[in-house]
A = this chain, B = another copy of it.
Amino acid sequence: MPQGQPSVVPDDGLTTRQRRHRPLVIVHTGIGKGKSTAAFGLALRAWNQGWPIGVFQFVKSAKWKVGEERALRVLGDSGEGGTVAWHKMGEGWSWVQRDAQMDNAEKAREGWEQVKRDLAAETYRLYVLDEFAYPMHWGWVDTDEVVEVLRGRPGTQHVVITGRNAPEKLVACADLVTDMSKVKHPMDAGQKGQRGIEW
């Protein structure tokens, strides 16, 4: 809950108001829990503002984020806040017909191509690129290109990227970076993940 006066007032020619409303690149990284849940918690604030939200899940998972997905779909369809579009890799990015023949690296790249198109078209005001740090870390998607596209994106589009091992260049370009550090996890005490908590 940071409030009050910033410690530095940059000489960037912007008014405080203009500077306040600059769009953000936000990164949640680290080995602890909470990277994705915090991104979806942020989406609740965006929804409340009436912003169109685009979620892109970049790593195929047996559990996905079923709770968050259902909740955000119900919110998006409620007619009370913003809209929510939810895209999943591996179940087929909805715009890719030939998904079955593609390997995961190709699928990730297709997803990124769609994000690029949406950013250029200003489709959403908040993008949740869930687990997108992995395809960059694995070299499937070029971090330099991601940084260039983020830097050049038009309008007011906030982008949240989650995942361990966020590349340094991404961190350098981001406005807000939180490292979720594991202090303690039930797995360390022999307890496996459970519904309602892990998914």
Contact = CB atoms under 8 A, between A and B. Distances in A.
Nearest to A164: B1
A140 interface: no
Nearest to A192: B20
A174 interface: yes
B22 A191 contact: yes
Interface residues of A, number: 81
Interface string A8-43: 111010001001111010111110111111111110
A171 B42 CA distance: 25
Interface of A: 1-3, 6-10, 12, 16, 19-22, 24, 26-30, 32-42, 44-49, 51, 61, 66-68, 70-72, 74-75, 78, 80-81, 125-126, 131, 158, 171, 174-199
23 contacts: A1-B131, A2-B185, A3-B192, A19-B190, A19-B192, A20-B193, A22-B186, A24-B186, A30-B181, A32-B178, A32-B179, A37-B38, A37-B42, A37-B45, A48-B67, A48-B68, A51-B196, A70-B80, A158-B197, A175-B184, A177-B184, A179-B181, A180-B180
